[in-house]
């Protein structure tokens, strides 16, 4: 085992900070009832973890070529994706149509939109790690694993809240997704 250096000490807190969005989105998605809870859990945990780690790896590979090209508008992409998914969840909860969602948030395009929307910041982190001159395999694995664990925890909390409080929490879940998108935009505009 290699000695711990300063770089190793920042990877875990960095992974946790990236995983906060995945956790929050998972809480929102968990409030909506589903026929097969295990499948939804697997899909969200796998995809959120995979996309977080994969986007960090992609950002590292992109280095100085691609990341600067999207840096001016990556926050808008995240906002649009999260606002779209959150808006659909709000509409379904408002209509009382949560039992018959035409598009399960943990399947198909909704799953991809949430996965990309919550992991765009990992792309920038990957670029930062490349500029620091450090490796990416270990950090991307940690980032993906932490996102997966936080997604699982978020789903469990969301399921309990949704089951106990129903529609008000489902409405809140959609609003949380939109709020995360707004926070991403405001954070980037303040830089």
Q: What is the pLDDT along the chain (191 residues), one digit of tens a residue?
A: 444 455 566 788 888 888 888 888 888 888 777 778 898 899 999 999 999 999 999 988 887 566 566 667 777 877 777 777 777 767 766 776 545 445 567 778 888 888 888 888 788 778 777 766 667 888 899 999 999 999 999 999 988 887 666 667 667 767 777 787 788 778 777 76
Counting every residue written for the chain, the total comes to 191
Domain range for 124 is 11-190
Q: Quote the pTM value.
A: 0.72
Distance CA 180, CA 28 (A): 11
Determine, yes or no, domain membership for 113: yes
Determine, yes or no, domain membership for 5: no
Which tokens hold the place of 42? 């697997």
The reported pLDDT for the residue numbered 180 is 75
Determine, yes or no, domain membership for 167: yes
Question: Domain count of the chain?
Answer: 1
Q: Using the 8-state DSSP alphabet, how is residue 2 labeled?
A: P
Distance CA 106, CA 112 (A): 9
Determine, yes or no, domain membership for 137: yes
Determine, yes or no, domain membership for 21: yes
């Amino acid at each position: 085992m290699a000695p711990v250096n300063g770089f190793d000490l920042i990877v875990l807190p960095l992974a946790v900070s990236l995983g906060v969005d995945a956790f929050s989105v998972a809480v929102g998605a968990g409030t909506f009832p589903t026929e097969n809870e295990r499948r939804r859990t697997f899909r969200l945990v796998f995809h959120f973890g995979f996309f977080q780690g994969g986007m960090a790896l992609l950002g590292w590979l992109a280095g100085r070529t691609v990341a600067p090209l999207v840096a001016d508008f990556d926050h808008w992409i995240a906002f649009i994706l999260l606002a779209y998914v959150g808006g659909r969840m709000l509409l379904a909860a408002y209509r009382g149509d949560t039992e018959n969602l035409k598009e399960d948030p943990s399947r198909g395009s909704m799953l991809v939109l949430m996965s990309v929307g919550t992991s765009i910041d990992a792309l920038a982190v990957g670029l930062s790690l490349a500029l620091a001159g450090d490796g990416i395999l270990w950090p991307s694995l940690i980032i993906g694993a932490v996102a997966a664990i936080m997604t699982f925890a978020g789903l469990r909390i969301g399921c309990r809240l949704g089951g106990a409080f129903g529609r008000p929490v489902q409405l809140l879940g959609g609003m949380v997704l939109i709020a995360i998108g707004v926070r991403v935009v405001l954070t980037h505009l303040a830089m």
